[in-house]
């Protein structure tokens, strides 16, 4: 990394911390407070909406890379348009409840932005379709999984770090590293004790940005599994839990506290569960970075082991633990 890149990275971390501190003060004045409840995993009233700091800093970082000639104007315009389409409804929802359909429409339009960027990268309709689906999925997965202290932020930072390596040396890699810096700047306010939550503005935006980086890393990595692996922990927990609730005839679109990570947190506490998920994803990222062409069998075996382990752990926890 050049001195300018290091300065950008450090600046993103520091500015996120400052803006998060300001967001705490604003949330308290505006009454943006999440109270404890049976569908939530925290026991103290806590401000929400701190993820707006990450959104602002990532927007500024994108513009700086554009002004430096590292990213094309049209690429930054598409990326920021999609980010805004996720962040603005989330910010509104953090202030007052927003109906589901306007949010879904905004998320779909954001997914179109990712699809267009994917098309520009590869001229592949399949790649564009995957980009659309990935954006819709990850925006909602990060929202579902942002339920205990630090888990959504640490996962985003680890996954973004892996995607940055896959994207290197493109400017998108630098932007992914900026997201890592933002996660580090926000984390002290959210873990191990939460002084503020990401809110919908933050969790959805993290999912969108990871979808964007992952889709762009797909052609660069040469192996789609290398992009999917870092997402396994969240994808298995959110995906299997959603499927279980749908098959059980539950109101699967309503808030709940039945994910595996929430059940584990009731027994182990937030820091232990966030740490365990983080360790698993760190291992998944390391395995993902071993994929190459020609591919040796070891990474495939390790990937299969990670997937089976995640599925088995989810089954045991949700089957036997309340």
Binding-site residue positions for Mg(2+):
143, 200
Name the 3-class secondary structure at 47.
Answer: strand
Residue 293 DSSP one-character state: S
Residue 231 DSSP one-character state: G
Angle at 200 between CA 66 and CA 255, to 5 degrees: 150
Residue whose entry in the numeric block shows the structure tokens 């300018």: 4
What contacts 24+ positions apart, CB below 8 Å, involve 318-321?
Answer: 318/240, 318/241, 318/244, 318/258, 318/260, 318/263, 321/263, 321/264, 321/266, 321/267
Q: Which residues contact residue 139 at a Cβ distance below 8 angstroms, ignoring those fewer than 6 apart? A: 86, 107, 110, 111, 204, 207, 208, 211
Is the distance from CB of 284 to CB of 232 less than 8 angstroms? Answer: yes
The Cα 273–Cα 151 span in angstroms is 8
Residue whose entry in the numeric block shows the structure tokens 């959504």: 152
Residue 164 half-sphere exposure toward CB, CA atoms < 13 A: 17
Name the 3-class secondary structure at 15.
Answer: helix
Distance of CA 105 to the CA centre of its chain: 20
Residue 204 half-sphere exposure toward CB, CA atoms < 13 A: 27
Residues in binding site: 143, 200
Nearest residue to 159 (alpha-carbon basis) of 113, 127, 207: 207
């Amino acid at each position: 990394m050049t001195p300018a890149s290091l300065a950008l990275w450090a600046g993103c971390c520091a500015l996120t911390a400052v803006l998060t501190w300001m967001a705490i003060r604003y949330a308290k004045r505006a009454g943006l407070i999440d109270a404890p409840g049976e569908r939530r995993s925290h026991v103290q009233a806590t401000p929400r909406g701190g993820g707006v700091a990450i959104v602002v800093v990532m927007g500024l970082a994108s513009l700086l890379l554009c002004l430096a000639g590292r990213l094309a104007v049209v690429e930054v315009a598409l990326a920021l348009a999609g980010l805004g389409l996720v962040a603005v409804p989330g910010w509104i929802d953090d202030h007052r409840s927003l109906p589901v359909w306007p949010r879904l429409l905004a998320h779909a339009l954001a997914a179109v932005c990712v699809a267009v960027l994917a098309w520009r990268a590869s001229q592949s309709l399949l790649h564009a379709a995957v980009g659309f689906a990935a954006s819709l999925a990850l925006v909602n997965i990060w929202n579902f999984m942002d339920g205990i202290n630090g888990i959504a932020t640490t996962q985003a930072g680890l996954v973004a770090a892996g995607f940055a390596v896959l994207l290197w040396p493109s400017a998108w890699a630098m932007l992914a590293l900026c997201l890592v810096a933002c996660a580090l700047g926000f984390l002290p306010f959210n873990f191990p004790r939460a002084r503020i939550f990401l809110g919908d503005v933050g969790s959805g935006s993290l999912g969108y940005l990871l979808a964007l980086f992952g889709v762009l890393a797909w052609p660069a990595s040469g192996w789609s599994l290398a992009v999917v692996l870092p997402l396994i922990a969240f994808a298995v927990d959110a995906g299997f839990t959603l499927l279980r609730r749908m098959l059980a005839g539950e109101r699967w679109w309503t808030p709940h506290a039945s994910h595996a990570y929430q059940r584990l947190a009731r027994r182990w506490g937030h820091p232990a569960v966030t740490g365990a998920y983080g360790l698993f994803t760190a291992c998944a990222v390391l395995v993902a970075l071993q994929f190459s062409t020609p591919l040796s069998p070891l990474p495939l075996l390790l990937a299969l082991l990670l997937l089976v382990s995640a599925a088995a752990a989810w089954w045991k926890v949700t089957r036997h633990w309340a």
